[in-house]
């Protein structure tokens, strides 16, 4: 939308009226002070085309402008002068205004501003040659040689057009300011502190600053000695943006050699700055060229890597490069920058939706795991075998049968208690394991022995992880000759990890089919991922004395 | 009577053993118990039982691979399992009965009664016959079977593709498992009645059955009347 409004302003600007026939007319200079030098008829043939260092002296300049016939609707006419110094302006010998104050009676010069506007009397605009004579001083930047540029248009147009342009620019600047603030808040309040959000916020803020700086001259009157300061600031803002925009793309498109590319870009930009010192417009153009080349490299690489959003951003960059190439710098840069920032916003929204999907998946995983946990005790293999044994116990010895029912109820209670949690105290997990062993003891009539070493019962662990290892141990082991199976849990902490080792001391049953442990291991791994991300390791394998599983959780 | 129980839970294995002995009462019955499938398979190689009581975790394809092996053998199999949702599939593979856990004496007796009364057919429909060829077990669809011929302790399945297959089960056991449309027309022949064209009466009150395939099979004198009723 901004771009569109902007474009209309631009068309409007193209539509300005050509009134001066010789727009590039050059002034001639003479050091000294003589009021007759203002006259239209004065002969300035022997005046110099070069001003030289005029120190704090007063000097005069005269420029011959050849006017077209002017339509009445354009009246009153105004004269726009772009020049350094303090000066009084004479149109065909008639004083029409001043900019700053030239040194007078020992008082120093009050500097004028670089661009100033004057109304031309209606009686002095006949077609043909006219003379603009300027009584000037340039004591604050005496050695800076800068020519004088003139433009004539309807006086009110000269005054209002920059304001209209600025209104659009401020609209854009406001959008960037809001975006910057939003992304800074997002960065500060996010637990993950993603650097790309910070970079994006900074880009928006810098771009806001760039827009404000570019149009600062319409907000405040800048004395001509400070003219270059503003350009210098704009240059550095462009410099930093030319670095940050490719950096953002490097992060978003997972560019592998990002550091190298950034170093090359930095060196190139510094080289551009050094070799074109004080050619502000040229340096800014070169900066944006470097930025485009780097961004293209990163985006093309992203497309090769099949990164999301690659093609859209490439299209955006192409449009933006074309705009930058074919419009005047002032407009082109901002339009192209806007397109790039839109591309970034688009990328960011893609990224945000990916994160949202990941979050949804995590929630889904958690509820799936909870279900999985609850299913452990109602899956037919467990419940029906348990009930069959229980029938038998009740028939044979009602007293033992009742005890069996109680241990089963206790196991159910613990399961129910822990099922909705993602981490439980180790003591709870151990209680669950012991209850399960009691149940299985009634069923299998094997003497199960439970041992634990160096256990820190206050530690937290995902629910039913050791329980799952225990189940596997029971299913896949045959008892030793004395009808025992022993389970041992070791716990240890080192500098950067803590570790559980779960050992089954028994005979491993020969594996007939390939299904050993599949679902149980998946459950354990999913639980570890849910609570520890990728900061865990799980191994499990046969040993000479049975089976050994190790869970390591790194602390860092 | 030689019965094998494969069950890895000691308590349940003892229950099966006790209830089975109770069922057979005075009949001399020898029961072996194996606590793993592998031990069971090894046992079968040494000593072929008359009946197998099999606990099988039928969750997953592998359970059915084991089941295929068992039903291809010469004896009847009764599955005793917790995976009750797999009963229909187990019947399709040709088990004599499916006893869901938990079970009591009545339910197990019902299954064992089927074993001792060949007239009682399984509750579920058999869909395949598992046959061993070159060490591999293959499933043959019942629809492909035209007739079955007794050949000593084996049987010969005659199929639509013309290639006979040997099966380890006797004609009597197969007849019990197969649906009613398989009619015993002779002491050595079991025929899919849908494949019968007509009865041929030969001189000397000898009968034979012409099949749609053109084959002619002998019909036992005592079977003629019943067969005639079914064909007309």
d(CA A385, CA B103): 10
pLDDT of residue B59: 57
pLDDT of residue B147: 94
Identify all chain A residues contacting B57, using CB atoms and an 8 Å cutoff: 381
d(CA A465, CA A454): 18
Could you tell me if A392 lies within 8 Å of chain B, comparing CB atoms?
yes
Contact assessment for residue B94 and residue B176, using Cβ atoms and an 8 Å cutoff? no
Are B11 and A513 a contacting pair at CB < 8 A?
Answer: no
| Nearest residue in B to A386, CA atom | B102
| Nearest residue in A to B58, CA atom | A381
pLDDT of residue A516: 44
Contact assessment for residue B34 and residue B82, using Cβ atoms and an 8 Å cutoff? no
Tell me if the bond preceding A76 is cis, omega within 30° of 0. Answer: yes
What confidence tier does A231 reach under pLDDT thresholds 50, 70, 90?
confident
d(CA B4, CA B36): 12
Six token digits for residue B72? 């291809």
Give pLDDT tens digits for A86-137.
999 999 999 999 999 988 888 888 999 999 999 999 888 888 899 999 999 9
Q: What residue ranges define each of the domains in chain B, with the CATH number in brackets?
A: 2-116 (3.40.50.2300), 128-231 (2.40.50.1020)
Kindly report the average pLDDT of chain A as a whole number: 87
What confidence tier does A313 reach under pLDDT thresholds 50, 70, 90?
confident
Contact assessment for residue A60 and residue A48, using Cβ atoms and an 8 Å cutoff? no
Write out the H or E segment, with its range, that includes residue B80: strand B76-81
pLDDT of residue B76: 93
Give pLDDT tens digits for A177-229.
999 999 999 899 988 778 888 998 999 999 999 889 988 888 888 999 998 89
Identify all chain A residues contacting B15, using CB atoms and an 8 Å cutoff: 388, 391-392
* Percentage with pLDDT > 70 across chain A: 95
The pTM of this model reads: 0.61
d(CA A26, CA A46): 15
pLDDT of residue A136: 92
pLDDT of residue A21: 81
What confidence tier does A322 reach under pLDDT thresholds 50, 70, 90?
confident
Interval A297-307 mean pLDDT? 89
Identify all chain A residues contacting B35, using CB atoms and an 8 Å cutoff: 478
In which region does residue B173 sit, left (phi positive, over 0), alpha (psi from -120 to 50) or beta (all else)? Answer: alpha
| Nearest residue in B to A475, CA atom | B8
Tell me if the bond preceding B102 is cis, omega within 30° of 0. Answer: yes
Are B85 and A387 a contacting pair at CB < 8 A?
Answer: no
Nearest CA distance, A373 vs chain B (angstrom): 18
ipTM for the complex shown: 0.86
Give pLDDT tens digits for B50-104.
999 998 876 555 678 788 888 899 999 999 999 888 899 899 999 999 999 999 9
* Percentage with pLDDT > 90 across chain A: 40
pLDDT of residue A537: 94
pLDDT of residue A515: 46
pLDDT of residue A19: 82
Give pLDDT tens digits for A175-189.
899 999 999 998 999
d(CA A305, CA A142): 57
Interface of A with B in 358-387 (CB under 8 A): 380-381, 383-385, 387
Are B102 and A391 a contacting pair at CB < 8 A?
Answer: yes
Interval A3-32 mean pLDDT? 69
Q: Which of A320-334, A517-531, B122-136 has the least mean pLDDT?
A: A320-334
Q: Is the pLDDT at A1 greater than 60, yes or no?
A: no
Give pLDDT tens digits for A338-379.
888 888 888 888 888 888 898 888 888 888 888 888 888 788
d(CA B145, CA B96): 19
What confidence tier does A335 reach under pLDDT thresholds 50, 70, 90?
confident
Closest CA to B56 of B74, B73, B41, B75: B41
H runs (alpha helix) in A397-489: 398-418, 426-444, 465-476
Closest CA to A176 of A202, A208, A154: A208
Q: What are phi and psi of A541, to 5 degrees?
A: -170, 165
pLDDT of residue A12: 52
Closest CA to A77 of A18, A37, A11, A9: A18
Nearest CA distance, B213 vs chain A (angstrom): 42
Are A443 and B9 a contacting pair at CB < 8 A?
Answer: yes
Are A388 and B37 a contacting pair at CB < 8 A?
Answer: no
Residue A242 CB-half CA count within 13 A: 29
Give pLDDT tens digits for A480-537.
999 999 999 999 998 889 999 999 999 888 766 544 456 788 899 999 998 998 899 9
Are A380 and B11 a contacting pair at CB < 8 A?
Answer: no
Are B101 and A445 a contacting pair at CB < 8 A?
Answer: no
Question: What's the residue count for chain B?
Answer: 232
Contact assessment for residue A500 and residue A490, using Cβ atoms and an 8 Å cutoff? yes
Give pLDDT tens digits for B6-29.
998 889 999 999 999 999 998 889
pLDDT of residue A25: 84
Are A381 and B9 a contacting pair at CB < 8 A?
Answer: no
Could you tell me if B15 lies within 8 Å of chain A, comparing CB atoms?
yes
Give pLDDT tens digits for B183-229.
999 989 999 999 988 888 888 878 999 999 999 999 988 888 888 88
More confident residue, A18 or B220: B220
């Amino acid at each position: 939308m901004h771009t569109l409004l902007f474009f209309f302003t631009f068309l409007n600007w193209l539509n300005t009226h050509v009134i001066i026939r010789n727009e590039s007319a050059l002034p001639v200079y003479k050091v000294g002070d003589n009021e007759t030098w203002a006259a239209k008829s004065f002969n300035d043939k022997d005046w110099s085309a070069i001003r030289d260092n005029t120190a704090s002296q007063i000097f005069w300049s005269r420029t011959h402008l050849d006017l077209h016939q002017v339509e009445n609707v354009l009246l009153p006419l105004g004269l726009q002068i772009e020049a350094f110094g303090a000066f009084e302006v004479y149109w065909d010998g008639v004083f029409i205004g001043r900019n700053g104050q030239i040194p007078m009676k020992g008082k120093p010069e009050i500097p004028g501003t670089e661009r100033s506007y004057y109304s031309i009397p209606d009686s002095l605009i006949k077609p043909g040659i006219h003379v603009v004579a300027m009584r000037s001083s340039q004591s604050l930047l005496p050695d800076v040689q800068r020519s004088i540029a003139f433009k004539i248009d309807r006086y009110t147009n000269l005054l209002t057009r920059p304001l209209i342009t600025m209104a659009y620019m401020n609209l854009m600047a406001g959008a960037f300011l809001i975006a910057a603030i939003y992304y800074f808040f997002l960065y500060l309040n996010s637990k993950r502190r993603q650097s790309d959000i910070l970079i994006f916020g900074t880009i928006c803020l810098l771009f806001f600053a760039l827009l404000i700086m570019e149009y600062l001259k319409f907000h405040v009157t800048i004395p001509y000695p400070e003219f270059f300061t503003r350009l210098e600031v704009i240059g550095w803002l462009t410099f930093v943006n030319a670095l940050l925009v490719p950096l953002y793309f490097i992060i978003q498109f997972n560019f592998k050699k990002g550091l190298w590319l950034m170093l090359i870009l930095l060196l190139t930009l510094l080289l551009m700055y050094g070799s074109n010192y004080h050619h502000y417009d040229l340096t800014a153009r070169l900066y944006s060229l470097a930025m485009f080349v780097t961004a293209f490299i990163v985006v093309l690489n992203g497309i090769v890597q099949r990164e999301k959003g690659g093609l859209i951003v490439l299209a955006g960059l192409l449009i933006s490069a074309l705009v930058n190439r074919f419009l005047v710098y002032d407009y082109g840069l901002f339009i192209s920058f806007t397109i790039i920032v839109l591309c970034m916003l688009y990328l960011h929204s893609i990224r945000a939706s990916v994160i949202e999907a990941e979050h949804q998946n995590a929630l889904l995983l958690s509820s799936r795991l909870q279900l999985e946990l609850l299913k452990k005790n109602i899956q037919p293999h467990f419940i029906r075998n348990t009930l069959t044994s229980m029938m038998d116990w009740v028939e044979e010895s009602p007293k033992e049968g009742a005890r069996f029912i109680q241990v089963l109820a206790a196991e159910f209670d613990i399961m129910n208690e822990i099922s909705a949690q993602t981490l439980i105290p180790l003591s709870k997990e151990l209680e669950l394991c012991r209850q399960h062993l009691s149940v299985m003891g009634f069923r299998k009539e094997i003497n199960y022995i439970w041992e634990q070493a160096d256990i820190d019962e206050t530690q937290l662990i995902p629910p039913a992880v050791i329980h799952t290892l225990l189940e596997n141990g029971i299913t896949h082991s045959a008892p030793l000759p004395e009808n025992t199976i022993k389970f041992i849990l070791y716990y240890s902490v080192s500098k950067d990890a803590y570790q559980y080792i779960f050992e089954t001391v028994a005979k491993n049953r020969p594996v007939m089919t390939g299904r050993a442990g599949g679902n149980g291991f998946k459950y354990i791994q999913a639980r570890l991922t849910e609570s520890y991300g990728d900061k865990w390791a799980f191994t499990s394998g046969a040993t000479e004395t049975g089976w050994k599983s190790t869970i390591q959780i790194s602390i860092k | 009577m030689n019965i094998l129980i494969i069950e890895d839970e000691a308590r349940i294995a003892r229950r099966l053993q006790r209830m089975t002995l109770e069922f057979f009462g005075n009949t001399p019955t020898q029961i072996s118990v194996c606590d793993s499938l592998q031990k069971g398979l090894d046992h079968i190689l040494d000593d072929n039982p008359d009946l197998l009581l099999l606990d099988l975790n039928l969750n997953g394809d592998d359970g059915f691979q084991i089941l295929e092996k068992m039903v291809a053998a010469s004896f009847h199999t009764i599955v005793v399992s917790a995976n009750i949702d797999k009963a229909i599939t187990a019947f399709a593979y040709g088990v004599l009965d499916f006893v869901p856990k938990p079970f009591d004496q009545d339910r197990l007796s019902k299954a064992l009664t089927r074993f001792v009364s060949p007239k009682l057919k399984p509750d579920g429909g058999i869909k395949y016959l598992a046959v061993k060829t070159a060490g591999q077990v293959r499933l043959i669809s019942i629809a492909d079977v035209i007739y079955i011929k007794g050949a000593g302790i084996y049987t010969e399945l005659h199929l639509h593709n013309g290639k006979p297959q040997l099966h380890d089960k006797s004609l009597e056991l197969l007849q019990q498992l197969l649906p009613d449309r398989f009619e015993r027309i002779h002491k050595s022949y079991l025929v899919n009645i849908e494949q019968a064209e007509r009865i041929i009466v030969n001189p000397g009150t000898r009968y034979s059955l012409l099949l749609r395939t053109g084959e002619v099979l002998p019909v036992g004198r005592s079977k003629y009347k019943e067969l005639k009723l079914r064909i007309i």
